[in-house]
Amino acid sequence: MEGNGVSRFDQSDMVRRHWLKRLANGVYHFDGFHPTLYAVLHSYIKLQNADYTLGASTALYLRGYYHYGYIGNLPVFLYSPTNKHIPAWIMRQEWNYQLNTFSTNIFRHSCIGVENITLEGFEVLASSLERAFMECLLLSPTHYDLIDLYYTMEMLTTLRPKVVQQLLEQCSSVKVKRLFLFMAEKANHKWVDAINLSQVDIGKGVRSFANKGVYNGKFKIVIPKELHEYE
């Protein structure tokens, strides 16, 4: 506001006159306007060039691809780059959501698969289906069961091979790449045929994701028996 000729004195005066309401130090909204999470994210993206992104199951849910019910407020997963932490005042607000944040550089800070979408009249950033599902795999098993994620993978019949290829090549997480490729092949999706696996580094050695699970030799992973037997 100072850059637009509104001094700090004028700002304080506007608060006293109930023209503005202070949310935090240096953060205001018009009195009578009740900011939503989407409005706040839109403002930060436009004013601070902060690429906070709705990701993981939230991005899937917004596009109709995650249908599991929750008790209480809907969890929202918000991604922030590792060098741009989400301000504490945003986390302290009483949103109508259960706000979860995560940071990762597994995509090497690439913006591949980050898209603009409009929610409640505000343009915000959200992960594409391709990227969102990989983010879910990254956050498993803490936030998601693998069998639940596989149910979602079955619905992802229209993923874009080019975007999948780019993300897999950029991704540094062996866990994410192996589980993604295993689930995609198990679901027998047609777009898998267009993926060039020779360009995807899935690392060496065995990765285990279940106690007393079942070993898959192609991707060298140990998966839950329930997932192995599911048809």
Same domain, 16 and 102: no
Q: Is the pTM of this model over 0.85?
A: yes
pLDDT tens track, the chain, 231 positions: 788 788 888 888 888 888 888 888 878 888 878 888 999 999 988 888 888 999 999 999 999 887 665 555 778 999 988 778 888 888 888 888 889 999 989 998 789 999 999 999 999 999 999 999 999 999 999 999 999 999 999 999 999 999 999 999 999 999 999 999 999 999 999 999 999 999 999 999 999 999 999 999 999 999 999 999 998
Please tell me whether residues 16 and 128 are part of one structural domain. Answer: no
Do 12 and 100 share a structural domain?
Answer: no
CA distance 75 to 61: 10
22, 132: one domain: no
Q: Are residues 72 and 140 in the same domain?
A: yes
Please tell me whether residues 21 and 57 are part of one structural domain.
no
Measured CA distances, 106 to 33, 102, 171, 181, 231 (Å): 38, 12, 5, 16, 31
**What pLDDT score does 67 carry?**
65
Please check whether residues 125 and 18 belong to one and the same domain. Answer: no
pLDDT at residue 12 in the model: 84
13 and 126 both lie in a single domain: no
Domains contained in the chain, number: 2
Q: What pLDDT, on a 0 to 100 scale, did the predictor assign at position 209?
A: 95
Asked whether residue 81 falls in the same domain as residue 188, the answer is yes
Q: What's the pLDDT at 71?
A: 55
Whether residue 125 is found in the same domain as residue 184: yes
114 plus 18 within the same structural domain: no
The answer to whether 120 and 36 are in contact (CB under 8 A) is yes
- Domain hosting 110: range is 35-229
Q: Looking at the structure, do residues 57 and 134 belong to the same domain, yes or no? A: yes
